[in-house]
């Protein structure tokens, strides 16, 4: 009966002047949730009741800068959860009681009524004391009101977390150049894939430098983090490309005959030429094919770039690497010539040109010729073909 009178006295000033006699056989109906609290045979020996009025919590302080900076009104549910989380830290001896209250409040919110609760946040840079008073209206394992004090501190100078402590690893593995179309998003998604529990968000970071082997990020001033952090990785370039010339062939008698061909391919580097040459100096490749004439027959060619000048049969070979730092250049890869009464000649050439900051154009070309006089009984014939493949960076 004393518990009932206590509840009525909190809700109605007139409750103390008009006492209703009750006994174990009476059933009293009170509006709202109060009726649920007394509409059963009272027997204190049957229940373990947590007396909220006797629960003494230490005054705690919570920084509400993040909540206040949203510009929205006080979110009672969100703020109370933050407060109770801090109470758990500051009152470890009350861990079971605080957890029990918080779980029931979240599960049965209509069983609880805030009589006192902050209605606004302090101004930035200021702290303010508030009283929290929570009345239990349910018919469960609680009785009375929970009352305690809290300090809300709207402090924008709280200690920020270093980015170096916010990630578990800086190693991102192997990335693909073709995915660098939106490099910041690509890097960020890769970071998340190996740092699943980080609290850092994309908008917390400034991507200072994205390279083909590392990315440096710094924390934005308005974020909860500070400092910088460098992620490392390797970039794979998909150069599954090649280009080849047609089979060039001429047959001459009492004339000069010529043939030629030219083929190009374009390589795209999504971070641009400057980022590329920071790491790589050259592009390597393989030249293959043959030259032929009807005097000395076939010279097979299969040479990787970077090798020294050499002679294969009657063909002079020079296959240099492509210097990525040069805007454009050209080189003769192979030359073969026979000269007598009749003559036959073959040329294979390579040129390259940075046509944009991201695009390197490589052109393979060839030309052949044959000459035979009318009084010579022999035809002059020559043939050549060439292909470049196995392209890679070095």
Domain ranges of the chain: 1-46, 52-158, 161-236, 243-393
Give residue 31's pLDDT.
37
pLDDT of residue 160: 82
First to last CA, the chain: 89
| pLDDT at residue 24, rounded to an integer | 38
Q: How far apart are CA 383 and CA 249, in angstroms?
A: 4
Q: What is the mean pLDDT of each run of 10 residues along the chain (394 residues)?
A: 36 33 36 38 52 92 82 85 86 89 89 94 90 94 94 80 94 96 97 96 94 93 88 94 96 96 97 95 97 96 92 97 97 96 96 98 98 87 97 95
Is-contact 372 265, C-beta < 8 A? no
The C-alpha atoms of residue 391 and residue 304 are separated, in whole angstroms, by 10
Cβ–Cβ under 8 Å, residues 275 and 212:
yes
Q: What pLDDT sits at residue 363?
A: 98
Torsion of CA 49, 55, 61, 67, to 10 degrees: 20
What is the model's pLDDT at position 157? 67
Residue 165: per-residue pLDDT: 92
Radius of gyration of the chain from Cα atoms?
42
Tokens of 344: 């036959």
Name the nearest CA neighbour of 163 among 228, 232, 230. 228
Contact, 191 vs 99, CB < 8 A?
no
Read out DSSP for 297-353? EEEEEEEETTPPPEEETTEEE--PPEETTSSEEEEEEEEEEEESSSEEEEEEEEEEE
C-alpha count within 13 angstroms, C-beta hemisphere, residue 103: 8
Contacts of 36 (CB under 8 A, 6+ apart): 137, 138, 139
C-alpha span between 62 and 84 (Å, rounded): 10
CB-neighbour burial class of residue 105 (10 A; exposed 0-12, middle 13-18, buried 19+): buried
Residue 35: in which H helix or E strand, if any?
helix 34-38
The predicted pLDDT at position 60 comes to: 87
Tell me the pTM.
0.61
Task: Tell me how long the chain is.
Answer: 394
Burial of 316 (0-12, 13-18, 19+ CB in 10 A): middle
pLDDT of residue 22: 34
**Judging by beta carbons within 10 Å of its beta carbon (0-12, 13-18, 19+), is residue 277 exposed, middle or buried?**
middle
* Tokens encoding 142: 């609680």
DSSP letter (8 states) at residue 382:
E
Closest alpha carbon to 239 in 263, 220, 266, 218: 266
């Amino acid at each position: 009966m004393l518990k009932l009178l206590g509840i009525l006295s909190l809700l109605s000033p007139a409750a103390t002047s008009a006492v209703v006699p009750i006994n174990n056989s009476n059933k009293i109906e009170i509006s709202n949730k109060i009726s649920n609290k007394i509409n059963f045979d009272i027997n204190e020996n049957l229940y373990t009741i947590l007396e909220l009025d006797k629960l003494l919590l230490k005054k705690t302080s919570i920084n509400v800068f993040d909540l206040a900076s949203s510009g929205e009104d006080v979110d009672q549910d969100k703020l109370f959860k933050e407060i109770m989380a801090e109470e758990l830290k500051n009152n470890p001896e009350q861990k079971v009681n605080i957890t029990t209250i918080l779980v029931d409040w979240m599960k049965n919110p209509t069983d609880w009524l805030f009589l006192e609760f902050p209605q606004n946040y302090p101004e930035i840079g200021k702290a303010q004391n508030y009283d929290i008073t929570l009345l239990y209206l349910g018919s469960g394992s609680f009785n009375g009101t929970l009352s305690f004090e809290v300090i809300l501190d709207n402090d924008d100078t709280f200690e920020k977390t270093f980015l170096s402590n916010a990630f578990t690893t800086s190693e991102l593995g192997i990335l693909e150049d073709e995915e660098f179309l939106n490099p910041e998003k690509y890097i960020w998604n890769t970071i998340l894939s190996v740092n699943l529990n980080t609290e850092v968000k994309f908008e917390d970071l400034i991507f200072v430098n994205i390279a083909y082997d590392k990315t440096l990020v710094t924390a934005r001033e308005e974020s909860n983090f500070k400092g910088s952090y460098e992620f490392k990785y390797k970039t794979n370039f998909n150069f599954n490309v090649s280009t080849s010339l047609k089979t060039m062939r001429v047959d001459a008698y009492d004339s000069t005959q010529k043939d030629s061909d030219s083929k190009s391919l374009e390589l795209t580097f999504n971070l641009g030429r400057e980022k590329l040459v920071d790491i790589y100096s050259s592009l390597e490749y393989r030249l293959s094919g043959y030259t032929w004439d009807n005097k000395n027959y076939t010279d097979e060619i299969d040479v990787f770039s970077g090798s020294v000048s050499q002679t294969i049969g009657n063909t002079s070979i020079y296959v240099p690497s492509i210097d990525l730092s040069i805007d454009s250049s050209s080189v003769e890869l192979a030359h073969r010539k026979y000269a007598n009464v009749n003559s036959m000649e073959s040329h294979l050439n390579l040129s390259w040109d940075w046509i944009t900051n991201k695009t390197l154009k490589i052109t393979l070309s060839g030309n052949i010729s044959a000459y035979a006089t009318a009084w010579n009984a022999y035809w002059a014939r020559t043939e050549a073909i060439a292909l470049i493949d196995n392209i890679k960076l070095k």
